Amino acid sequence: MAQSEVIDGKARPKDSLVVNIVGGLGNQLFQYLFGRSLENVSKLNVVFDTSDFWHYRLHKGLAIERYFEIKLPLISKEQLEQVPWLCRSRFGKRVASRFISRKGSSLKIQTDYSFDLRKQPISPYLGEYFLGYWQSQRYFSDEINVVKNSLCFREEIELAAEQAVDLVNITFDRAAAVHVRRGDYVTAPSRAPQYALPLEYYLQGMDMLASERGVSKFYIFSDDIEWAKLNFPAYYELCFIESSVSNSAGIDMCLLSKFSEMVISNSSFGWWAAALRKNGNGLVLYPQQWVKKRFLDDETKIAKTIDGWQALNWNVT
């Protein structure tokens, strides 16, 4: 156990490593996975900085604790005052992620551009700050499994998901889930390295699951369910999961995790929905090209897939 100091009556490790958490549920889960893996590799304490959510209003704030049985070890306000000055505000972190990440800095800040969990030593001093989304880190499969096994949906989320199953009359025999991600991939395409997958990608995956796995019914999950209802053809039996069924990212992820067979989008949400499946014997299909062509050399934007998943050969410019 690391040496500790007492702050506000609580013991806090002096040599804590700090991992920033921000973004949507999928991003938060990757940052949590990185923090757990970092702690395992370094043998040092890891705390999480969630201060961005004081002002960050997208994705309904800090979701990981709301949907999972997790209590994050959080950085204290006193510790936050000791981290590199750029990391004490959301604006400073944006500057750090854009300029320090590629050029390096004398400040004790590591980004998912500059730091490789498997290759670089970690210094045990207060102020080592880790900034990024960390979906591309080369985790060991046992680390992923340890975190997956510790990620239990909260009881009320499981209950709500079961109620949704009954409400929609979801059956899992010879059925598959299809996760369609559009959102800012469509509304702000210049900002997103990922791209909105075309309908043909999802149909290719559905055809494969039908022919190779005997799937006859597909449950469509999407952040643009009206687009899906207008565009998916009716030659398969389809069920569209309306927002009124769950109205919650956590319940949607819990529902998705109950399916064995899946076609996922190129999003961190889709990745985690597949990773957390209760029955891992089914087939998960994902797009071979995860990001736009100009980002293919940027490994920080590409999530590493899990053994046993199968890529669909789909490429865009």
CATH of 155-312, one of 1.10.260.40, 3.30.70.270, 3.30.460.80, 3.40.50.11350: 3.40.50.11350
The beta-strand segments (E) located in 169-309 are 175-180, 217-222, 237-240, 261-263, 284-287
Would you say the pTM of this structure is higher than 0.75? yes
| Cα gap 113→104, rounded to integer Å | 9
Give the closest residue to 115 by CA, choosing from 58, 222, 35.
35
> Are 125 and 147 a contacting pair, CB within 8 Å?
no
The per-residue pLDDT string of the chain (317 residues; one tens digit each, 9 = 90 and over) reads: 334 444 344 434 456 899 999 999 999 999 999 999 898 888 888 999 999 888 766 667 899 999 999 999 999 888 888 888 788 887 778 777 766 655 555 567 888 887 888 776 666 554 588 998 998 877 777 788 888 888 999 999 999 999 999 999 999 999 999 999 998 899 888 878 889 999 999 999 999 999 999 999 999 999 999 999 999 999 999 999 988 788 899 999 999 999 999 999 999 999 999 999 988 889 999 999 998 888 888 777 888 788 889 999 876 76
DSSP 36-74: HHHHHHH-S-EEEE-GGGGT--GGGS--HHHHBS----B
Q: Return the domain boundaries, the chain.
A: 4-141, 155-312
